[in-house]
Amino acid sequence: MKRLEYLAGITDDECDRLRKLGVLHTNQLIHATTLVIDRERIQRRSGIPVERLYYLGQQASLMEISGLTRHLRVVTRLGTTTLRQLGAAEPAELHRKLIEVLGVNAPTLSEVEYWVSQAKYIDVVEEPEETVDKRVRRYVPS
């Protein structure tokens, strides 16, 4: 759990608007932006667009992955911006890309594998285009 200012690119105005609604830190932001209907409600009350709330909620969610925060900016620059994308990533390929960018400062392959496994289990943020039927099929085992 971190202050909202830790989210890359969040503006002071967005922090102020969210705080007025009682969202004081990243964990509260995750809970407040998990469902599409919640993001729509916050948009009406804060004026922050739903798409932006989704992005900020995803960033906050990625910060919950143990050990990822230190490398989060690089991982997002490499194109992994959501928990679902991280959960679907091939750990060896993501690790290879991180080595290319970070060299000796790159995380180990086992760390990347751990990030991917965590993302698979904590991905609870509803995608904007999801329907109830898609969510039920995704979460209910066959």
Give pLDDT tens digits for 29-51. Answer: 999 999 999 999 999 999 999 99
Domain check: are 73 and 50 in the same one?
A: no
Number of domains in the chain: 2
Task: Let me know if residue 133 belongs to a domain.
Answer: no
Domain assignment present for residue 1? The answer is yes
Q: Is 74 within the bounds of a domain?
A: yes
Residues 93 and 42 in one domain: no
Cα 118 to its chain centre, rounded Å, is 12
**Does the residue 138 lie in any domain?**
no
Do residues 76 and 115 both lie within one domain?
A: yes
- The Cα 68–Cα 75 span in angstroms is 9
User: Which stretches of 47-103 are DSSP H helices?
Assistant: 50-62, 72-77, 83-88, 91-102
Say what the pTM is.
Answer: 0.82
Q: What is the span of the domain harbouring residue 53?
A: 1-64
Q: How confident is the model at residue 8 (pLDDT cuts 50, 70, 90)?
A: confident
